[in-house]
Structure 1
Amino acid sequence: MFLEKLKEITTFIFDVDGVLTNGDIIASDSGEFLRTFNIKDGYALQLAVKRGYLVCVISGGRGQAMQKRFEGLGIQEIFLGVSDKVEILDSLLLKYQVTADHILYMGDDIPDLKIMQVVGLPTCPADAVPEIKALSQYISPYDGGSMAVRDIIEKVLRVQHKWFDEHPSAADSGK
Protein backbone atom coordinates (compact mmCIF):
# COMPACT_ATOMS: atom_id res chain seq x y z
CA MET A 1 0.00 0.00 0.00
CA PHE A 2 2.76 2.48 0.95
CA LEU A 3 4.79 1.74 -2.19
CA GLU A 4 1.69 2.18 -4.32
CA LYS A 5 1.14 5.62 -2.79
CA LEU A 6 4.74 6.57 -3.61
CA LYS A 7 4.05 5.82 -7.27
CA GLU A 8 1.27 8.43 -7.30
CA ILE A 9 3.19 11.36 -5.78
CA THR A 10 3.58 14.41 -8.05
CA THR A 11 3.99 17.09 -5.38
CA PHE A 12 6.17 17.48 -2.31
CA ILE A 13 5.36 19.98 0.43
CA PHE A 14 7.69 20.46 3.38
CA ASP A 15 7.59 22.35 6.64
CA VAL A 16 10.93 24.02 7.45
CA ASP A 17 11.79 24.12 11.16
CA GLY A 18 12.12 20.57 12.44
CA VAL A 19 11.91 19.06 8.94
CA LEU A 20 14.42 20.84 6.68
CA THR A 21 16.29 21.98 9.80
CA ASN A 22 16.88 20.31 13.14
CA GLY A 23 14.58 22.83 14.77
CA ASP A 24 17.33 24.81 16.47
CA ILE A 25 17.41 28.56 15.87
CA ILE A 26 20.43 30.71 16.62
CA ALA A 27 19.49 34.27 17.56
CA SER A 28 22.19 36.70 16.50
CA ASP A 29 22.94 40.02 18.21
CA SER A 30 21.43 41.79 15.21
CA GLY A 31 18.12 40.02 15.85
CA GLU A 32 18.45 37.67 12.88
CA PHE A 33 17.45 34.01 13.36
CA LEU A 34 19.88 31.54 11.80
CA ARG A 35 19.19 27.95 10.75
CA THR A 36 21.31 25.18 9.27
CA PHE A 37 20.23 23.02 6.33
CA ASN A 38 21.48 19.58 5.30
CA ILE A 39 23.28 19.58 1.94
CA LYS A 40 22.01 16.07 1.11
CA ASP A 41 18.42 17.24 1.60
CA GLY A 42 19.29 20.08 -0.79
CA TYR A 43 20.52 17.68 -3.45
CA ALA A 44 17.30 15.67 -3.30
CA LEU A 45 15.13 18.81 -3.41
CA GLN A 46 16.79 20.23 -6.51
CA LEU A 47 16.71 16.81 -8.21
CA ALA A 48 12.97 16.49 -7.56
CA VAL A 49 12.49 19.92 -9.18
CA LYS A 50 14.63 18.85 -12.18
CA ARG A 51 12.52 15.71 -12.53
CA GLY A 52 9.34 17.77 -12.86
CA TYR A 53 7.84 17.46 -9.40
CA LEU A 54 6.15 20.42 -7.80
CA VAL A 55 8.18 21.18 -4.66
CA CYS A 56 6.79 23.60 -2.07
CA VAL A 57 7.77 24.92 1.33
CA ILE A 58 5.17 26.16 3.80
CA SER A 59 6.45 27.50 7.12
CA GLY A 60 5.46 29.73 9.96
CA GLY A 61 9.10 30.79 10.10
CA ARG A 62 10.52 33.53 7.95
CA GLY A 63 13.82 34.99 6.89
CA GLN A 64 15.66 36.25 3.84
CA ALA A 65 18.29 33.50 4.13
CA MET A 66 15.58 30.82 4.00
CA GLN A 67 14.03 32.43 0.94
CA LYS A 68 17.40 32.56 -0.85
CA ARG A 69 18.23 28.95 0.03
CA PHE A 70 14.96 27.65 -1.38
CA GLU A 71 15.11 29.83 -4.48
CA GLY A 72 18.64 28.56 -5.11
CA LEU A 73 17.37 24.99 -5.08
CA GLY A 74 14.67 25.86 -7.62
CA ILE A 75 11.76 25.30 -5.26
CA GLN A 76 8.73 26.61 -7.13
CA GLU A 77 6.47 27.69 -4.28
CA ILE A 78 7.86 29.22 -1.07
CA PHE A 79 5.48 30.39 1.64
CA LEU A 80 7.06 31.82 4.79
CA GLY A 81 5.37 33.44 7.79
CA VAL A 82 2.24 31.34 7.22
CA SER A 83 -0.35 30.82 9.95
CA ASP A 84 -2.89 28.73 7.96
CA LYS A 85 -1.14 26.00 5.97
CA VAL A 86 -4.41 24.49 4.69
CA GLU A 87 -5.32 27.80 3.07
CA ILE A 88 -2.02 27.70 1.16
CA LEU A 89 -2.63 24.07 0.21
CA ASP A 90 -6.07 24.95 -1.16
CA SER A 91 -4.55 27.69 -3.34
CA LEU A 92 -1.91 25.24 -4.65
CA LEU A 93 -4.57 22.66 -5.50
CA LEU A 94 -6.39 25.24 -7.61
CA LYS A 95 -3.31 26.78 -9.20
CA TYR A 96 -1.70 23.50 -10.26
CA GLN A 97 -4.86 21.40 -10.71
CA VAL A 98 -3.38 18.68 -8.52
CA THR A 99 -5.42 16.52 -6.17
CA ALA A 100 -4.54 16.08 -2.51
CA ASP A 101 -4.06 12.33 -3.12
CA HIS A 102 -0.91 13.09 -5.13
CA ILE A 103 0.68 15.26 -2.43
CA LEU A 104 3.30 14.16 0.06
CA TYR A 105 3.67 16.44 3.07
CA MET A 106 6.36 16.19 5.73
CA GLY A 107 5.77 17.91 9.06
CA ASP A 108 6.98 17.50 12.60
CA ASP A 109 4.80 19.42 15.05
CA ILE A 110 1.26 20.46 15.99
CA PRO A 111 0.96 23.30 13.40
CA ASP A 112 1.25 20.56 10.73
CA LEU A 113 -1.70 18.47 11.95
CA LYS A 114 -4.47 20.05 9.85
CA ILE A 115 -2.62 19.99 6.54
CA MET A 116 -1.44 16.42 7.17
CA GLN A 117 -5.06 15.32 7.58
CA VAL A 118 -5.82 16.55 4.04
CA VAL A 119 -2.90 15.31 1.92
CA GLY A 120 -2.58 11.86 0.36
CA LEU A 121 0.68 10.92 2.06
CA PRO A 122 1.49 12.51 5.43
CA THR A 123 5.06 11.81 6.57
CA CYS A 124 7.40 12.96 9.32
CA PRO A 125 10.98 12.81 10.60
CA ALA A 126 11.94 10.38 13.38
CA ASP A 127 11.96 13.16 15.98
CA ALA A 128 8.44 14.45 15.26
CA VAL A 129 6.01 14.87 18.15
CA PRO A 130 3.78 11.87 19.01
CA GLU A 131 0.60 13.40 17.51
CA ILE A 132 2.32 13.82 14.13
CA LYS A 133 3.82 10.33 14.24
CA ALA A 134 0.36 8.88 14.91
CA LEU A 135 -1.00 10.59 11.79
CA SER A 136 1.95 9.81 9.51
CA GLN A 137 1.87 6.99 6.99
CA TYR A 138 5.67 7.02 6.91
CA ILE A 139 8.14 7.96 9.66
CA SER A 140 11.65 8.49 8.35
CA PRO A 141 14.42 6.86 10.37
CA TYR A 142 16.20 10.25 10.14
CA ASP A 143 15.61 13.33 12.31
CA GLY A 144 14.57 16.65 10.86
CA GLY A 145 17.50 18.49 9.28
CA SER A 146 19.45 15.21 9.13
CA MET A 147 18.31 13.68 5.81
CA ALA A 148 14.64 12.99 6.54
CA VAL A 149 13.74 15.02 3.44
CA ARG A 150 16.37 13.23 1.33
CA ASP A 151 15.04 9.90 2.61
CA ILE A 152 11.46 10.44 1.47
CA ILE A 153 12.29 12.16 -1.83
CA GLU A 154 14.72 9.38 -2.70
CA LYS A 155 12.08 6.73 -1.94
CA VAL A 156 9.55 8.40 -4.24
CA LEU A 157 12.02 8.97 -7.06
CA ARG A 158 13.40 5.43 -6.84
CA VAL A 159 9.92 3.88 -6.96
CA GLN A 160 9.14 6.07 -9.98
CA HIS A 161 12.54 5.27 -11.59
CA LYS A 162 13.63 8.92 -11.55
CA TRP A 163 16.38 8.93 -8.90
CA PHE A 164 19.66 8.51 -10.77
CA ASP A 165 21.04 11.69 -12.35
CA GLU A 166 23.16 10.98 -15.45
CA HIS A 167 24.92 14.35 -15.19
CA PRO A 168 25.07 15.47 -11.55
CA SER A 169 26.77 18.74 -10.71
CA ALA A 170 28.70 19.24 -7.51
CA ALA A 171 27.07 22.67 -7.28
CA ASP A 172 23.48 21.36 -7.31
CA SER A 173 22.95 20.97 -3.55
CA GLY A 174 24.99 23.96 -2.47
CA LYS A 175 22.89 26.65 -4.12
Structure 2
Amino acid sequence: MSYKQRLPKITTFIFDVDGVLTDGSVILDSSGEMVRTMHTKDGYALQHAVKKGYNIVIITGGNSIMVKKRLEGLGIRDVFIAVHDKLPVMNKYLKENQINNQEVLYMGDDIPDFPCLKEVGVSTCPHDAAIEIREISDYISHIDGGKGCVRDVIEQTLRVQNKWMDKDAYSW
Protein backbone atom coordinates (compact mmCIF):
# COMPACT_ATOMS: atom_id res chain seq x y z
CA MET A 1 0.00 0.00 0.00
CA SER A 2 1.43 3.41 -0.94
CA TYR A 3 1.92 6.08 1.71
CA LYS A 4 -0.86 8.18 0.10
CA GLN A 5 -3.34 5.36 0.70
CA ARG A 6 -2.47 5.51 4.42
CA LEU A 7 -2.89 9.29 4.78
CA PRO A 8 -6.67 9.16 5.36
CA LYS A 9 -6.03 7.39 8.70
CA ILE A 10 -3.59 9.99 10.05
CA THR A 11 -4.72 11.81 13.21
CA THR A 12 -1.30 12.54 14.69
CA PHE A 13 1.87 14.15 13.38
CA ILE A 14 5.18 13.71 15.20
CA PHE A 15 8.19 15.80 14.22
CA ASP A 16 11.83 16.12 15.17
CA VAL A 17 13.22 19.66 15.32
CA ASP A 18 16.85 19.86 14.17
CA GLY A 19 17.06 18.87 10.51
CA VAL A 20 13.25 18.76 10.12
CA LEU A 21 11.75 22.00 11.45
CA THR A 22 15.18 23.63 11.11
CA ASP A 23 17.87 23.11 8.50
CA GLY A 24 20.15 21.71 11.20
CA SER A 25 22.35 24.80 11.35
CA VAL A 26 23.13 26.39 14.69
CA ILE A 27 24.27 29.99 15.02
CA LEU A 28 25.93 31.11 18.23
CA ASP A 29 25.06 34.66 19.27
CA SER A 30 27.45 36.92 21.20
CA SER A 31 26.27 35.51 24.53
CA GLY A 32 26.84 31.92 23.43
CA GLU A 33 23.14 31.17 22.93
CA MET A 34 22.28 28.84 20.06
CA VAL A 35 19.93 30.35 17.49
CA ARG A 36 17.92 28.28 15.00
CA THR A 37 15.62 29.38 12.20
CA MET A 38 12.28 27.85 11.25
CA HIS A 39 10.34 28.35 8.03
CA THR A 40 7.04 30.25 8.21
CA LYS A 41 5.45 27.81 5.75
CA ASP A 42 5.99 25.04 8.28
CA GLY A 43 4.60 27.30 11.01
CA TYR A 44 1.47 28.02 9.00
CA ALA A 45 0.83 24.33 8.33
CA LEU A 46 1.43 23.38 11.97
CA GLN A 47 -1.02 25.93 13.36
CA HIS A 48 -3.58 25.02 10.69
CA ALA A 49 -3.34 21.33 11.63
CA VAL A 50 -3.78 22.25 15.30
CA LYS A 51 -6.93 24.24 14.41
CA LYS A 52 -8.26 21.24 12.49
CA GLY A 53 -7.90 19.04 15.59
CA TYR A 54 -4.81 17.01 14.74
CA ASN A 55 -2.40 15.96 17.45
CA ILE A 56 0.96 17.62 16.83
CA VAL A 57 3.84 16.21 18.85
CA ILE A 58 7.44 17.39 18.89
CA ILE A 59 10.15 15.04 20.15
CA THR A 60 13.68 16.42 20.04
CA GLY A 61 17.04 15.78 21.58
CA GLY A 62 17.66 19.53 21.60
CA ASN A 63 17.04 21.65 24.65
CA SER A 64 16.09 25.10 23.35
CA ILE A 65 13.56 27.05 25.36
CA MET A 66 13.13 29.46 22.42
CA VAL A 67 12.23 26.57 20.09
CA LYS A 68 9.69 25.37 22.65
CA LYS A 69 8.23 28.90 22.92
CA ARG A 70 7.91 29.18 19.13
CA LEU A 71 6.10 25.85 18.89
CA GLU A 72 3.81 26.62 21.82
CA GLY A 73 3.03 29.94 20.10
CA LEU A 74 1.71 27.90 17.16
CA GLY A 75 -0.66 26.08 19.53
CA ILE A 76 1.42 22.92 19.97
CA ARG A 77 1.06 21.63 23.52
CA ASP A 78 3.02 18.39 23.31
CA VAL A 79 6.66 19.45 23.03
CA PHE A 80 9.22 17.03 24.46
CA ILE A 81 12.74 18.50 24.59
CA ALA A 82 16.10 17.06 25.71
CA VAL A 83 14.91 13.53 24.87
CA HIS A 84 17.73 10.97 24.74
CA ASP A 85 15.64 8.01 23.51
CA LYS A 86 12.62 9.04 21.43
CA LEU A 87 10.80 5.70 21.11
CA PRO A 88 9.73 5.36 24.78
CA VAL A 89 8.51 8.97 24.76
CA MET A 90 6.50 8.38 21.59
CA ASN A 91 5.04 5.10 22.83
CA LYS A 92 4.06 6.61 26.19
CA TYR A 93 2.33 9.53 24.45
CA LEU A 94 0.43 7.22 22.09
CA LYS A 95 -0.66 4.93 24.92
CA GLU A 96 -1.77 7.78 27.20
CA ASN A 97 -3.79 9.33 24.36
CA GLN A 98 -5.13 6.01 23.01
CA ILE A 99 -3.65 6.56 19.56
CA ASN A 100 -2.92 3.61 17.29
CA ASN A 101 0.54 3.63 15.67
CA GLN A 102 -1.13 3.38 12.25
CA GLU A 103 -2.69 6.83 12.82
CA VAL A 104 0.75 8.45 13.13
CA LEU A 105 2.85 10.23 10.52
CA TYR A 106 6.39 10.74 11.81
CA MET A 107 9.03 12.91 10.16
CA GLY A 108 12.65 12.54 11.20
CA ASP A 109 15.99 13.12 9.55
CA ASP A 110 18.70 11.21 11.40
CA ILE A 111 19.63 8.04 13.27
CA PRO A 112 17.89 8.92 16.60
CA ASP A 113 14.57 8.93 14.66
CA PHE A 114 15.11 5.44 13.18
CA PRO A 115 13.26 3.41 15.89
CA CYS A 116 10.21 5.70 15.81
CA LEU A 117 10.04 5.69 12.02
CA LYS A 118 9.90 1.88 12.07
CA GLU A 119 6.83 1.89 14.34
CA VAL A 120 4.38 4.31 12.71
CA GLY A 121 1.76 4.22 9.96
CA VAL A 122 3.59 6.66 7.67
CA SER A 123 7.33 7.30 8.02
CA THR A 124 8.63 10.41 6.28
CA CYS A 125 11.82 12.43 6.03
CA PRO A 126 13.19 15.61 4.48
CA HIS A 127 15.05 15.39 1.17
CA ASP A 128 18.40 15.87 2.90
CA ALA A 129 17.89 13.21 5.60
CA ALA A 130 20.57 10.66 6.45
CA ILE A 131 20.73 7.76 3.99
CA GLU A 132 19.65 5.26 6.66
CA ILE A 133 16.49 7.28 7.24
CA ARG A 134 15.79 7.72 3.54
CA GLU A 135 16.04 3.94 3.07
CA ILE A 136 13.26 3.18 5.57
CA SER A 137 10.93 6.13 4.88
CA ASP A 138 7.61 5.61 3.14
CA TYR A 139 7.88 9.12 1.72
CA ILE A 140 10.90 11.34 1.11
CA SER A 141 9.90 14.97 0.75
CA HIS A 142 11.32 16.85 -2.21
CA ILE A 143 12.07 19.66 0.28
CA ASP A 144 15.05 19.87 2.64
CA GLY A 145 14.74 20.18 6.41
CA GLY A 146 13.88 23.67 7.63
CA LYS A 147 12.70 24.73 4.18
CA GLY A 148 9.04 23.61 4.20
CA CYS A 149 9.17 19.79 4.39
CA VAL A 150 6.79 19.81 7.38
CA ARG A 151 4.29 21.83 5.35
CA ASP A 152 4.70 19.29 2.53
CA VAL A 153 3.52 16.31 4.61
CA ILE A 154 0.84 18.19 6.55
CA GLU A 155 -0.60 19.69 3.37
CA GLN A 156 -0.66 16.32 1.59
CA THR A 157 -2.47 14.73 4.54
CA LEU A 158 -5.02 17.50 4.97
CA ARG A 159 -5.70 17.60 1.22
CA VAL A 160 -6.40 13.85 1.16
CA GLN A 161 -8.76 14.35 4.12
CA ASN A 162 -10.42 17.43 2.52
CA LYS A 163 -9.30 19.69 5.38
CA TRP A 164 -6.74 21.91 3.66
CA MET A 165 -8.61 24.68 1.81
CA ASP A 166 -11.58 25.64 3.95
CA LYS A 167 -12.66 28.66 6.00
CA ASP A 168 -10.08 27.86 8.70
CA ALA A 169 -7.26 28.12 6.15
CA TYR A 170 -7.52 31.88 5.74
CA SER A 171 -6.24 32.97 9.13
CA TRP A 172 -3.47 32.25 11.60
Q: TM-score, normalised by structure 1?
A: 0.94
1:14-163 matched pairs, under 5 angstroms: 14-163=15-164
The code of the aligned residue for 2:42 comes to D
The code of the aligned residue for 1:98 comes to I
Aligned residues: 170
Deviation at residue 92 of structure 1 after TM alignment: 0.8
Distance 1:29 1:135 in 2: 40
Distance 2:166 2:159 in 1: 11
Distance 1:94 1:133 in 2: 27
Distance 2:149 2:4 in 1: 17
Distance 2:60 2:88 in 1: 12
The code of the aligned residue for 2:133 comes to I
Indicate the SS of the match to 1:164. coil
Distance 1:36 1:21 in 2: 6
Indicate the SS of the match to 2:167. coil
Distance 1:9 1:46 in 2: 16
Deviation at residue 21 of structure 1 after TM alignment: 0.4
The code of the aligned residue for 2:152 comes to D
Indicate the SS of the match to 1:161. coil
Distance 2:154 2:77 in 1: 16
Indicate the SS of the match to 2:87. helix
Residue of structure 2 equivalent to 1:8:
9
- State the identity as a percent: 51
- Per-residue displacement from partner, 1:4-48 (whole Å, max 9, x unpaired)? 201110000000000000000011231211000000000000000
Distance 1:32 1:80 in 2: 16
- Per-residue displacement from partner, 1:51-73 (whole Å, max 9, x unpaired)? 01000100001111101100000
RMSD across aligned positions (CA): 0.9
Q: TM-score, normalised by structure 2?
A: 0.96
- Runs of 4+ aligned residues of structure 1 deviating over 3 Å after TM superposition are none
- Per-residue displacement from partner, 1:54-95 (whole Å, max 9, x unpaired)? 001000011111011000001120001000101111111111
Distance 2:31 2:147 in 1: 27
Deviation at residue 2 of structure 1 after TM alignment: 2.0
Unaligned runs of 5+ in 2: none
